[in-house]
Amino acid sequence: MTSICETRIKCAVCGKRSHHDNVASTSIFCKPDLDGRPGAMARGTMPFWIQRCPRCGYCAPELNAKILGRKRFMEKEIYQNQLNDPNYPELCNTFLCFALLEENAGNLSAAAWAIISGAWICDDAKRNKKRKHALELRSRAVIMIERALEKGEKYDKQAGYSESVLVDLLRRSGQFNKAEKACKKALKMDIDGVTRKILNFQKKLIRRQDIGCHCQGEV
Ligand SMILES: [Zn+2]
């Protein structure tokens, strides 16, 4: 069961007040996918994760929250093009705009999370063209997580979580050699039993050159 509540919120860029739905509570019936995508019903709440200002196009989890450098960055062509890029579903564009803002602010893990979320939206799209975009977004997310790890930024506090998500992104974007190397490296880390099991499962999937979506319940 998911319950939604409506809030009126003031944009931290242009000051316009607009109505947005928020998730008050939701149920999770299945384990997450290997890349952390929540199970049903929580996954159905994605349209409420990022808000978009109807006037200026600011995209953030809460429109009244300030992301460093947002105003100047939003004037750039790259942001304005992304807002209404016809290649992606509208919701995906919202996540990708948020990703651009976070990347610009130096928050690379948050940017990676938003790009991965964009890939999930493309996964759900019926047309094959959009699935091709899911693949491209996973490749972009790989680069973002690698940059974040180089900076010492973790996607999640849990040891090995970023590395485990990275392995899944590499496998699902068909980069099997890199996926295998990343998997071996992560298995050498001091990680918990669940993460270890996931990585061992990934090893099997990589050997089979399986680029499909798998859930933690299969591990
Ligand atoms: Zn605004």
* pLDDT score at 158: 80
Rounded to the nearest whole angstrom, what is the distance from the C-alpha of residue 69 to the centroid of ligand 1?
A: 14
Residue 77 lies in a domain: yes
* pLDDT score at 44: 87
Residue 172 lies in a domain: no
* pLDDT score at 128: 63
Residue 189 lies in a domain: no
Rounded to the nearest whole angstrom, what is the distance from the C-alpha of residue 116 to the centroid of ligand 1?
A: 25
If one counts every other C-beta atom within 10 angstroms of the C-beta of residue 185, the result is 13
Parent domain of 142 = 3-155
Residue 47 lies in a domain: yes
Nearest Cα to Cα of residue 97 among 50, 165, 35: 50
Rounded to the nearest whole angstrom, what is the distance from the C-alpha of residue 88 to the centroid of ligand 1?
A: 22
Q: What is the mean pLDDT of residues 132-151?
A: 94
* pLDDT score at 131: 75
Residue 150 lies in a domain: yes
Handedness of CA 20, 26, 30, 31 (dihedral sign): positive
- Distance, CA of 90 to CA of 96 (rounded, Å): 10
CA angle (100, 102, 108) in 5-degree steps: 105
Tokens representing residue 45 in the block: 């709440």
Q: Across the chain, what does the average pLDDT equal?
A: 93
Query: How far, CA to CA in Å, does 86 sit from each of 64, 93, 130, 133, 136?
Result: 27, 9, 11, 12, 15
Question: For residues 93 and 85, is the Cβ–Cβ distance under 8 A?
Answer: yes
Residue 59 or 1, more confident: 59
Is the pLDDT at 129 greater than 70, yes or no? Answer: no
Is the pLDDT at 41 greater than 90, yes or no? Answer: no
Please state the domain count of the chain.
1
* pLDDT score at 4: 80
pTM of the model: 0.93
Is the pLDDT at 82 greater than 80, yes or no? Answer: yes
Question: For residues 45 and 96, is the Cβ–Cβ distance under 8 A?
Answer: no
Residues constituting the chain: 219
Segment 42-77, tens digit of pLDDT: 888 999 999 999 999 999 999 999 999 999 999 999
Distance of CA 78 to the CA centre of its chain: 19
Rounded to the nearest whole angstrom, what is the distance from the C-alpha of residue 11 to the centroid of ligand 1?
A: 5
Rounded to the nearest whole angstrom, what is the distance from the C-alpha of residue 40 to the centroid of ligand 1?
A: 32
Rounded to the nearest whole angstrom, what is the distance from the C-alpha of residue 51 to the centroid of ligand 1?
A: 10
Confidence of residue 12 (pLDDT cuts 50, 70, 90): very high
Rounded to the nearest whole angstrom, what is the distance from the C-alpha of residue 54 to the centroid of ligand 1?
A: 7
Residue 170 lies in a domain: no
Rounded to the nearest whole angstrom, what is the distance from the C-alpha of residue 53 to the centroid of ligand 1?
A: 5
Is the pLDDT at 127 greater than 70, yes or no? Answer: no
**In a 10 Å sphere around its CB, with 0-12 CB exposed, 13-18 middle and 19+ buried, how is residue 59 labelled?**
buried
CA angle (83, 84, 90) in 5-degree steps: 90
Residue 7 lies in a domain: yes
Confidence of residue 130 (pLDDT cuts 50, 70, 90): low
**In a 10 Å sphere around its CB, with 0-12 CB exposed, 13-18 middle and 19+ buried, how is residue 176 labelled?**
middle
Segment 165-212, tens digit of pLDDT: 999 999 999 999 999 999 999 999 999 999 999 999 999 999 999 999
Residue 94 lies in a domain: yes
